[in-house]
Amino acid sequence: MKALVQRVIKASVSVDDEVVGKIDRGLVVLVGVARDDNERDAIYLADKIVNLRIFADEASKFNLTALETGAEILIVSQFTLLADTRKGRRPSFEAAAPPEQAEALVNFFIEQVRNTGLKVEMGRFQQHMLVEIHNDGPVTIALDSRDKIHRISTDC
């Protein structure tokens, strides 16, 4: 699974001119699911995101997590994070999971984040969405569950 995490002062997602998710200070998480992703990937990313130290403390250093600050989280499914642009000019999305698999894993990921007690809002799966993001910093961080898996396999 891939996630693009943006620290925001506020954000919202709309479908057909209806706001379906809205947060104040917190994180927008754009998440994409690959064909070979599983619940372990979702658990890893959820834990990584809520414990990522990207909120400033009194000394303006990145020392606080979403959990410590009570940040709100807006999660938006985005299969385009799996785009392969190595050949030609049109991205290939062959690595992206089929919709049924992706939706189930995104919902599982959302539940993992919700289980932390943070407020979680979300977009609508497989819908054309307009996402309004007021990036704070800007702070944008890319995460990939394969980074953890790779480290484990090479450290043994």
Q: Considering 6, 55, 78, 109, which one is annotated as catalytic?
A: 78
Q: Any catalytic annotation for residue 140?
A: no
Q: Any catalytic annotation for residue 108?
A: no
Among residues 70, 53, 1, the alpha carbon closest in space to that of 29 is found at 1
Distance CA 103, CA 126 (A): 9
3-state SS, the chain, equals CEEEEEEEEEEEEEECCEEEEEECCEEEEEEECECCCCHHHHHHHHHHHHCCCCEECCCCCEEECHHHHCCEEEEEECHHHHCECCCCCCCECCCECCHHHHHHHHHHHHHHHHCCCCCEEECCCCCCCEEEEEEEEEEEEEEEHHHHHHHHHHHC
Q: Considering 6, 55, 79, 109, which one is annotated as catalytic?
A: 79
Q: Any catalytic annotation for residue 80?
A: yes
Q: Considering 80, 93, 127, 154, which one is annotated as catalytic?
A: 80
Q: Which residues are catalytic?
A: 78-80
